[in-house]
Every structure is written in structure tokens, then in C-alpha cells.
Chain A
Amino acid sequence: EAGVTQFPSHSVIEKGQTVTLRCDPISGHDNLYWYRRVMGKEIKFLLHFVKESKQDESGMPNNRFLAERTGGTYSTLKVQPAELEDSGVYFCASSQGFGLTNEKLFFGSGTQLSVL
């Protein structure tokens, strides 16, 4: 069974440019999460989708970040325009549902974003 896949694995862009990260969750997983780890800091929650709906976007840093999950399948996270402080590793995770067993999160290997 395929795991959570993220694309690209690395992205190097200049300040002011736009970058779009993609996440394909495990098939059948309704819950999709975006997390971010900036250098030297802990992994922090960005937002949570249940199917195509945003359940919680309280962790989104500002309005330069836009996440979508059209059709409730894959998700994209767009940063426009990118700033230096956006550099970090962006992780996507998915889970099947709620409850102790179903809510185990499976993480993708992340996208390393470098803004120069």
C-alpha cells in the first residue's frame, strides 16, 4: 500500500516567488494535516482537512499561505509570495478517522523548502 507522498521533495526559490507543495494522502484517509518544521524549532500544526473541508486552519501563519483539497483527495499548499522565514520542512500527514486506532497519523517524507 502506498504511503503519504509529497512533491517536490526539495524546492529552492527566491523571495517573492510562488511555490506550490502537493500531498497525496493514503487512499481512503479522510483526514489530511499539514505541519511545518522551521530550522531549530519544533514541528508545528498548520491545518487540518476532513475530506475537502477545512476543519481547522488555526496554525496557518498568515494569508500568504493557501491550502486546498479539491475533491477530498490530494491537497496543495501554496505560498505566495514566499518570504525568507517560510524556509523549513513541510510535512503532510493523513489518518483514516477518529478514535484511538483510526487516528494514527502517517506522515509523508516532507518537502524541504528553501527561500533565498
Chain B
Amino acid sequence: RKEVEQDPGPFNVPEGATVAFNCTYSNSASQSFFWYRQDCRKEPKLLMSVYSSGNEDGRFTAQLNRASQYISLLIRDSKLSDSATYLCVVKPDHPGSARQLTFGSGTQLTVLP
């Protein structure tokens, strides 16, 4: 079983739609959670961190459910420029951890005009 599981998609949605991505992680020692965005043939870039209380950044809302080991990302009023692959990323934070990130395979989103 993969440490971080994501629906690979692709998700094809019209402009203005709301779309949600889900992610589950298997390592209960995971302490930090992130969503990264990767454009085609580009490097991953941090979109937002995910906090236990849930957090919002403009049109983007991230949620964390530690009991279910589940993370979500909601994009409202989607734009053409949101088209990308969204990577769910977790990081252990226990003593002795190397602090390396564990990536999901990514969910591909295409926003259509």
C-alpha cells in the first residue's frame, strides 16, 4: 500500500466549477501536511500547508482529519490557470526523522473554458 494515496484523475471541470481532491495517508506518525501544485514539466511548488483546524487561502480550502488520516483540498470558482497536478504531501515529525516529504502520485486537474 502506498504511504500517500490520491485519486489520479484526470478531473476535467468547466471554469467556475468547484472541485475537491482527497488524499489518505498511512503513517500515523505524519505530523505536517501540504498541498503542492506542479505544472506540466515544472517543479512542484507549495500551494498551502494544511492545519488541523482547516485553513483557507482565497479560493482554496484545505481540511485535515487526523482520526481518518484524510486530507482534502477544495477549489472554488476554478480558473483556467488552476490546471495542474495537485500533490498531497505528508511529513513525519518525530525525533530522529529526516524530515523528508512523502508525496502522493498527484491528481491531474484540467479546467476547461
Q: Which residues of A contact B (CB under 8 A)?
A: 4, 33, 35, 41-45, 48, 55-56, 58-59, 91, 98, 100, 103-105, 107-110
A43→B87 contact, CB < 8 A: yes
| Chain A interface mostly | loop
Query: 12 new A-B pairs (CB below 8 Å) besides A100-B49, A107-B45?
Result: A4-B43, A42-B4, A42-B104, A43-B87, A45-B98, A48-B100, A55-B98, A56-B100, A58-B98, A105-B46, A109-B42, A109-B43
B44 interfacial by beta-carbon distance below 8 Å: yes
Report chain B residues within 8 Å CB of A4.
43
B106 to chain A, nearest CB (A): 7
Residue of A41, A48, A91 touching B43 (CB-CB under 8 A): A91
A108→B43 contact, CB < 8 A: yes
A34 to chain B, nearest CB (A): 10
B103→A43 contact, CB < 8 A: yes
Q: Which of A33, A105, A109 has the most CB of B within 10 A?
A: A105
Give B102's nearest chain A residue, CB to CB.
A45
Report chain A residues within 8 Å CB of B98.
45, 48, 55-56, 58
Q: Which of B32, B45, B46, B98 has the most CB of A within 10 A?
A: B98
Q: Which of B45, B46, B100, B104 has the most CB of A within 10 A?
A: B100
Known A41-B105, A42-B106; contact A59-B100, beta-carbon cutoff 8 A: yes
Q: Interface size bucket, B side?
A: 10 to 19
B2→A42 contact, CB < 8 A: yes
Interchain residue pairs with CB less than 8 A apart (17)? A4-B43, A35-B101, A35-B103, A41-B105, A42-B2, A42-B103, A42-B106, A43-B44, A44-B103, A45-B102, A55-B98, A56-B98, A56-B100, A59-B100, A100-B32, A107-B43, A108-B43
A67 to chain B, nearest CB (A): 14
A45→B42 contact, CB < 8 A: no
Report chain B residues within 8 Å CB of A105.
46, 101
Give A43's nearest chain B residue, CB to CB.
B103
Known A109-B43, A110-B43; contact A45-B105, beta-carbon cutoff 8 A: no
Q: Which of A42, A55, A103, A108 has the most CB of B within 10 A?
A: A42
